[in-house]
Amino acid sequence: MNRYAPVLRALGMIIMLFALTLLAPLILSYVVDDGAQAVYDEVFALTLLCGCFLWYRYRNVQRELNVRDGFLMVVLVWTVLPAFAALPFMLQLGVSHTDAYFEAMSGLTTTGATVLAGLDDLPMSINLWRHLLVWIGAMGLIVLAIAILPLLGIGGRQMFKAETPGPMKDAKLTPRIASTAKGLWIVYVGVTLLCIAGYRWAGMSWFDAVCHAFSTMGLGGFSTHDASYGYFDSSAIEAVAIVFMLIAGMNFGTLFLAVSRGSLRPYLHDPEARWFLVVCVVSVIGIAVFLRVNDIYPGMGEALRHAAFNVVSIATTTGYASVDYAQWPLFAPLWMLFLCSFATSAGSTGGGIKMARALLLYKQVYREILRAMHPRAIHSVRIGGQVAPSGILFAVLAFGFMYMVSLVSLTLLLLFTGLDVMTAFTAIVASVNNTGPGLGEVGPSTTFAVLNDFQTWVCIFAMLLGRLEIFTLLVVLTPAFWRR
C-alpha cells in the first residue's frame, strides 16, 4: 500500500481542490433557488471528506512523485474525479450512474457529448456545473498536455516541450508542473474573461456568456440550449465563438509567449498554428462552395456563415452546431470529422492526434516513399527546422498506429452491440478525438442517450483513451506496470 502512498496523497489533495469547485454551482443554486441546493450540500461534503481522508491518511509520506507515479496519478485523476462530478446529475436529475458518469467524463475530457435532453430547462446550477467541468478539465489538460505528458514521453510529446515557456530541466514532476502551469493558467483565465466579455457584447445573457465561454475555451462543446448555437441565430455570437475556438485550438504556450512579448510573432514561428489555420480556412471555403453548389443555402454569404461556424467548431474538436450539419451531403460532415482527428495543436485543449503528430506521420510516410526510390540517400524528418530525433519519430509512429487500431477495434466493438455503422464509427471518432457529436443516431441534433449502457461505457473508455493520448492508459493497463 505504501508504494502508492505519494499518489494517493496527491489524489486526495486534488479531490479536495475539486470539491472547492463545487462551491460555484452550490452558491449559484442558493442565489437563484433552483431547487438543487441540497444536492450540492451533500456532494460537496462527501467529496471534501473523501479528499481529506485520503490526504490525511498519507500526509506523512515524504517521497516525491516519480514517472511511474505520474502515469498512475493521471489515470486516477481522470477516472475518479468524474465519479464525484457525476453525483449532482444522479441525485438532482435522476439519471443512471452510467449516464451521469458519461456526462461528467464528457465534460472533464472536454468531449462535450451529452446524454441530457431539455438543456434549456435544467436547473441553472446544473448547467453551470456541466460547463465548469469542461473548463476545469481543460485546465487540468493544459497541465497534462504541456507539463506531464512530455515528461512521460507519451507519443512523441517530448518534441513539443521546447515550445513551452519556462525552464524544463528538472527530473522531478511536481515543481515543474507548478511553475509551468501558473503562467499558462493566468493566460487561460485572462482569455476566458475576454471571451465572456465578447459573448456578452454579442448579445448573450451573462449566464450564457459565462457557460459558453467555459465550453469554448475548453473546446468542450456543451451548451445551455438543446439547439446549441442555433438557439442564438446570431452572426455576432458565432463570430466571437470562431475567434476564441481558433485561439483555443492553438498552443497555449505560443499564446503565452505572444501575450508576454506583446507580439504575434510567436505564431509565425509555430508550424502547427500555420497548418491549423490553413486547414481551417481552406476547409471553410471549400465546404461553403460545396454547400452553395449543392444548393443547400440560397446565397454564398449564408453558406459561408454556416460553413465557417460548424467547420471550425468540429475541426477544433469543440462540437457546437448552429445548424443540423448532419443533413448536409455526407461529404461535408465526414470531412469535418476527418479534420477533428488531427487539426488542433499539441499544446491546446483540443483532441485527436494533433497537428504536430499529423505532420510527422505525413513526413515519415513520404520519407519511406523517398527512401524506397533513393535507398542510398539520407532522408531525415524535420520539424520547425530541426531534425526530429528518432526516439520521437518512433513514438509518433507507434502512436499513429495505435490510434488507428483503437478506432477500428472500438468501432467493431460497437458494431457487435448492434449499432449501425455510421453511428458506431462516428461515435468512436467523436469520442476518441474528444469532439462530441458524431453522425447517425449520435448526430448534432440528437444525444448519446440513445446508446445502451454497454455502448455508453465503450464511449466513456474511448473518450478517456483519447484524452490520455492512448499510451498513458496502455502503460497503466500493462501487467509490467504493476510488477514491483
- List of residues contacting its own copies (CB under 8 A): 67-68, 71, 152-155, 330, 334, 361, 364-365, 367-375, 390-391, 393-395, 397-402, 404-405, 407-408, 412, 415-416, 420-422, 424, 471-472, 474-475, 478, 480-481
Task: Please choose which of K ion, its own copies, none residue 398 contacts, taking the beta carbon within 5 to 8 angstroms, the exact cut-off set by kind.
Answer: its own copies
Cα separation of 83 and 358, whole Å? 33
Between vectors from CA 389 to CA 385 and to CA 392, what angle results, nearest 5°? 110
Q: Does 221 bind K ion (CB under 5 A)?
A: yes
Judged by CB, which is closer to its own copies: 269, or 374? 374
Judged by CB, which is closer to K ion: 364, or 446? 446
Min dist CB 373 to its own copies, Å, is 6
Phi first, then psi, for residue 22 (nearest 5°) are -65, -15
**Cβ(344)–Cβ(276) below 8 Å:** yes
Task: Please choose which of its own copies, K ion, none residue 372 contacts, taking the beta carbon within 5 to 8 angstroms, the exact cut-off set by kind.
Answer: its own copies
The number of residues that bind K ion (CB under 5 A) is 6
Judged by CB, which is closer to its own copies: 104, or 154? 154
The cell for 324 is 443540423
Contacting residues for 241 by C-beta, under 8 A, at least 6 apart: 199, 212, 216, 229, 309, 313, 320
Neighbours of 192 (CB within 10 A): 21
Q: Label residue 295 exposed, middle or buried (CB < 10 Å: 0-12, 13-18, 19+).
A: exposed
Phi first, then psi, for residue 387 (nearest 5°) are -70, 125
Judged by CB, which is closer to its own copies: 130, or 357? 357
Task: Please choose which of K ion, its own copies, none residue 188 contacts, taking the beta carbon within 5 to 8 angstroms, the exact cut-off set by kind.
Answer: none
Min dist CB 142 to its own copies, Å, is 20
Task: Please choose which of its own copies, K ion, none residue 25 contacts, taking the beta carbon within 5 to 8 angstroms, the exact cut-off set by kind.
Answer: none
Q: Does 112 bind K ion (CB under 5 A)?
A: yes
Q: Does 436 bind K ion (CB under 5 A)?
A: yes
The cell for 441 is 443516431
Task: Please choose which of K ion, its own copies, none residue 436 contacts, taking the beta carbon within 5 to 8 angstroms, the exact cut-off set by kind.
Answer: K ion
Judged by CB, which is closer to K ion: 347, or 436? 436
Whole-number Cα distances in Å, 224 to 60, 106, 138, 212 = 44, 15, 18, 8
Of residues 364-423, those binding K ion (CB under 5 A): none
**Cβ(65)–Cβ(73) below 8 Å:** yes
- Residues in touch with K ion (CB under 5 A): 112, 221, 317, 319, 435-436
